[in-house]
Structure 1
């Protein structure tokens, strides 16, 4: 059978998932060998290089939004899962409670402390801190050889707070924060205690500290106190959610909105209200459009018409398909190879750096798989 290449229009059509009033069509991918007779869809690195794109829409240290275009869903989902489960961070793993007379039980207090996100110098977190390996004998004693604690795998923290009366409080004061000292225990009360070479990497602005200082840990009243020591270790989200570098890491497919027939006047205004603000715009029909035969705008010069402004804002609610006046005038869909990511960092990594680290992790996984296949003689 002679080899043929599909037209650009056909390629674009295959990329769209159809969104109908009650159903979704064309959900299966067809860009692999054997689906279309005479077409070669074998894996091609050069083609991937030509089509793969990354476009950032929003980039701040704690929140990034970007598009991954031209990739398969399996690759897009691999990046998402790696960001959640494989990018390492430091978190409180062990809490040694010397005294806790608050109303919070010891195990609940330890759990709350473990979930506090911390930040520190990037070089120290990436290059200096190593994995902590729990000794086979379970540790014990004060000797490093027994406990396995070193400056390169353990960060020590201390929390020491006692609630006392504020003698300077105004008569009749009812606010506990003014009546007492340390009525509330916050994350900022946790003190970093550097050991060994940690001063070289974690000092000044690079010191280990809570990302959000005002996270409430506990409430105390006079006579209550909390004294404990904490050890932080490096871990990954697949072991525990507290090690995940992201609060959320998600993606959605790029919406498509095609207006097939003109929507004019009051219908245009109603059509715009069927979508989130900014998706559909209203423009006046120009004299040129009104004069062109077959445009559908004949005799409507100066009236408002509906145009697609920013489909990325659409949530694909399908509201417009529920109105009879818009039937056969609009076609909704989603691009199967355009993934819009939103990554919200917990603060230890910059949001864009998390994605770059996920790319490096996937690359390393591919190298290890290649090595194993070569050793198997495949």
Structure 2
């Protein structure tokens, strides 16, 4: 084998001697004898495709590759097939509370986006008891009334919603469709700042104690915001299991000396 190169205006001929071994290899070469190209995703791409990794600052790999042919170059079919999903998907129940109100479970073999859809459905579609209306009698804290009401609305209530009726706009709040709490906390002057926790929410089984504004007539019983015909603690479901927040240590507000919160919810 000869090649010609020019160097300094002169042609230089370079000869390379081909060995007999190379001639034999070239003569017997067959493209089908080449080793197979490795198929399958590299470990780091497989991790990114199938796992959401929780880091200290934020989760990673939360977005999914939905195009079926995204990994065709390496021989991986990324399409979603019902048969594969049925074989790989499973639900493992980790724990169930004694009262049946709390359950922890793992969903295995499912796309992160679909798992998040299940989470949103559980939050939005499952009925639960929550604070909807707040009547503030006095609030001198730094927390505005609207913010305070929003915080109260996010507090989970340990009450089975199946024991209550749905309250429509035309219904009168009664013992079958309404739960009432009161909160009265005050930080006396000269005392350190006071933390107002959910344990300060007191259940009122007889309904609201806050009197509505009236025309000044004293001949009738003062009207409140509810119309309970009987006490809720007379129901057998609540006799030994009084209604209260699920967590008694959730911070609602902090009061400075002289500040006070009084409300019904």
Question: Structure 2: how far apart are the matches of 1:21 and 1:63?
Answer: 29
What is the match of residue 178 of structure 2?
154
1:51 Cα deviation from its structure 2 partner: 8.9
Return the offset for 1:72: 9.8
Partner residue of 1:66? Answer: 106
Alpha carbons of structure 1 residues 133 and 163: separation in structure 2 relative to 1, 3 Å: same
Q: CA separation in 1, counterparts of 2:103 and 2:133?
A: 29
Partners of 1:95 and 1:110 within 8 A in 2: yes
User: Post-superposition shift, 1:128?
Assistant: 1.9
Equivalent in the alignment of 2:188: 164
For 2:47 and 2:205, locate their aligned partners in 1 and report how far apart those are by CA, in whole Å.
60
The answer for the alignment partner of 2:203 in structure 1 is 192
Moved more, 59-68 or 154-163: 59-68
- Give the paired residue count: 168
Is the aligned partner of 1:212 residue 2:247? yes
Alignment partners' CA distance in 2, 1:116 and 1:155 = 13
Residues 300-350 of structure 1 show CA distances to partners (whole Å, capped at 9, x for unaligned) of xxxxxxxxxxxxxxxxxxxxxxxxxxxxxxxxxxxxxxxxxxxxxxxxxxx
Q: 3-state DSSP class of the match of 1:227? A: strand
Tell me which residue corresponds to 2:92.
55
> Could you say what secondary structure the match of 2:149 adopts?
helix
The structure-2 alpha-carbon separation of the partners of 1:103 and 1:51, relative to structure 1 and needing over 3 Å to count, comes to closer
Contact 2:183/2:264 (8 A) holds in 1: yes
Instruction: Measure how far apart 1:114 and its partner are.
Output: 1.1
Secondary structure of the equivalent of 2:183? Answer: strand
Query: For residues 192 and 204 of structure 2, what CA distance do their matches in structure 1 show?
Result: 30
CA distance in 2 between partners of 1:192 and 1:21 (Å): 49
Structure 2 unaligned residues grouped into runs of 5+: 1-39, 50-64, 72-76, 207-229
SS at match of 1:176: coil
| C-alpha contact 2:192 2:257 (8 A) present in aligned 1 | no
Contact 1:96 1:229 (8 Å CA) reproduced = yes
CA 1:220–1:63: 2 relative to 1, 3 Å: same
**Offset, 1:102:** 1.2
Q: How does 1:223-238 map to 2 (within 5 A)?
A: 223-230=258-265
Structure number with higher strand proportion: 1
Q: Which of residues 112, 135, 140 is equivalent to 2:151?
A: 112
- 1:1-378, aligned counterparts within 5 Å? 19=46, 25=71, 26-31=77-82, 54-56=91-93, 58-59=94-95, 61=97, 64-67=104-107, 79-120=118-159, 125-135=160-170, 148-165=172-189, 176=192, 183-195=194-206, 196=230, 198-199=232-233, 200=235, 201-204=237-240, 206-230=241-265
Whether contact under 8 Å (1:68, 1:76) holds in the other structure is no
Structure with more relative contact order (C-alpha pairs < 8 Å, separation 6 or more): 1
- Larger radius of gyration between Structure 1 and Structure 2: 2
SS of 2:146's equivalent?
Answer: helix
For normalisation by structure 2, the TM-score amounts to 0.52
Compare the two structures and name the one with the higher helix fraction: 1
Q: Indicate the SS of the match to 2:133.
A: strand
Q: TM-score, normalised by structure 1?
A: 0.38
